[in-house]
Amino acid sequence: MELHHLTATEAATRFRRHELSPVELLDAVIARTAATEPAINAVTEQWLDEARTAAATSEGRFARGEATGALEGIPLMLKEEQPIAGRTAEEGSLLERGHVATETHPIVDRILAAGAVVHGRTTTPEYCCAPVTHTALWGVTRNPWNTAYSPGGSSGGSGAVLAAGSTILATGSDIGGSIRIPSSFCGVVGFKPPFARVPGLAPFNSDTYCADGPMGRSVADVALLQNVISGPWAGDAASLREVATVSGEVSSLAGMRIAVCLDLGGYAVDPSVVANTLGVVSALRAAGAVVEQVELPWGPQRTLETSWPHFGAVMGPFIESIADGDPERSAQLMPYTRAFAAAAANSGDFVTGLEAESAFYRPFGELMQDYDVLICPTIATTGLAADEPCTDSDAVFAQLMTLPFNVIGRVPVLAVPSGIAPNGVPTGVQIVGRTFDDATVFRVGAALEQELRLWTDPAWWPAV
């Protein structure tokens, strides 16, 4: 396997055995970024001098046999949305161009403390409010598998650099599928933690739909990063005090009961997505699980009717505050941003929405009394155009089978690949656990990864 497509866990093993140095690995991903960026445009900035210094420091620690951090020497890119004090925080918006952050996101501090070599940041749609990644500020980010298509959004840059081999680990965030959508379209692994598992910054740390989380090229890699970024933080009263350690170790699924729902009650799922999901079902059965098909009374219309009041109370007003009633400022926003804010403004009563969210959860809660996890497709379709306008919010969200699990945001969701569609874009499934049962979704994901042997094959990755 090419160095730039190593997993973090394999790289860490080679570091400890003195078979590879952090400097060598950083050089490999920097070279890969230089080779692929003209095609995919997924990196907002690189910090090469700082990264080379950090890699040399890690190299010295390994050479001297000193104590090392959990991410020691591992190249990592950060989603630009996660601020760093003293550095720009532009959110993909012309209105934020040149803005400098005054605080650092807690997961960034934890990643640096764990010894990661942070060497760049990745693109997002404006204010992270679209499932594609293109902005007037940064241009169009493209999918390494097929550059006519989007890597997804809003963590599209992170998904793209992982698939291309421009880094080893990356961060994302998810308020409607923003980790899981690019994980599916880019053929990588991503985890939407349950609400409050990973600390965040106001106001979205208190938003039950929202979570920052890890992305990587294997289940074990994502578990490694998740264990670094999770846990309580003094700046976030919502952050859970319980520390839930997860693992990518493979174990038998014998005795485990798994539910599979192909359409979540009415999503129009492409036949190739269905076929690849059924391949996942076969693999899970081969791994020892009992898998049964079930139904859920959701579908896109009910999901949207339930979620819009929430967006209208949180994300919509946030965007409106940026425009501040100024038509000239509003005109500088991306069309999809204005469309999202307009839809959220006509979304209905927040309290009624809370009641609808509780009713929405109930059938899932009852179902999960009999099953350990639920499996379903991540996205109903096989791709969005790289420059998809996304101005019809309802039509776009009707393709995304991720949003139901933001509505019931206390559930952990691990997104893994399921295969490749005829257009060359990967497809994926979501492994959804009971509330706050993070460990079980990783157990299922690790077993599925071993059984399918798709993204563990060096031949899996696209030749950009």
Instruction: Summarize pLDDT for 14-37 with one digit per residue, the tens.
Output: 999 999 999 999 999 999 999 999
The parent domain of residue 378 ranges over 3-301+350-460
What interhelical angle do 299-313 and 350-367 show, nearest 10?
140
Query: Is residue 306, in this structure, part of any structural domain at all?
Result: no
Number of domains the chain is built from: 1
Confidence of residue 347 (pLDDT cuts 50, 70, 90): confident
Instruction: Give dist(CA 26, CA 4) in Å, integer.
Output: 9
Give 99's DSSP letter.
-
Query: Is residue 321, in this structure, part of any structural domain at all?
Result: no
Q: Active-site residues: which are they?
A: 79, 154, 178
Confidence of residue 344 (pLDDT cuts 50, 70, 90): confident
Instruction: Give dist(CA 378, CA 442) in Å, integer.
Output: 16
- What are the φ/ψ torsions at residue 427 (nearest 5 degrees)? -115, 170
Q: Once rounded to an integer, what is the mean pLDDT over residues 90-116?
A: 98
Query: Is residue 329, in this structure, part of any structural domain at all?
Result: no
Neighbours of 65 (CB within 10 A): 9
Chain segment 180-220, per-residue pLDDT in tens: 999 999 999 999 999 999 999 999 999 999 999 999 999 99
Question: Could you report how far apart the first and last alpha carbons of the chain are, in Å?
Answer: 15
Query: Is residue 89, in this structure, part of any structural domain at all?
Result: yes
- Amino acid 149 reads Y
CA torsion sign for 191, 4, 136, 401 is negative
Are 41 and 33 contacting, i.e. CB atoms less than 8 angstroms apart?
no
- Amino acid 31 reads A
Q: Which residues contact 19 (CB under 8 A, 6 or more apart)?
A: none
State whether residue 23 is helix, strand or coil. helix
Exposure letters 332-350 (e unless 16+ CB within 10 A, then b): bbbebbbbbbebbeebeee
Query: Is residue 188, in this structure, part of any structural domain at all?
Result: yes
Confidence of residue 315 (pLDDT cuts 50, 70, 90): confident
Query: Is residue 374, in this structure, part of any structural domain at all?
Result: yes
Q: Report pLDDT for 348.
A: 81
Q: Report DSSP letters for 281-320, one per residue.
A: HHHHHHTT-EEEE---S-HHHHHHHHHHHHHHHTHHHHHH
Q: Report pLDDT for 456.
A: 96
Instruction: Give dist(CA 142, CA 145) in Å, integer.
Output: 9
Q: Which residues contact 299 (CB under 8 A, 6 or more apart)?
A: 263, 264, 265, 266, 267
Q: What is the CATH number of the domain that holds 199?
A: 3.90.1300.10
Q: Which residues contact 20 (CB under 8 A, 6 or more apart)?
A: 3, 11, 14
- Considering only CA atoms, which of 37, 45, 33, 137 is closest in space to residue 88? 45
- Amino acid 364 reads F
Query: Is residue 232, in this structure, part of any structural domain at all?
Result: yes
Query: Is residue 322, in this structure, part of any structural domain at all?
Result: no
Are 409 and 208 contacting, i.e. CB atoms less than 8 angstroms apart?
yes
- Predicted TM-score (pTM) of the model is 0.98
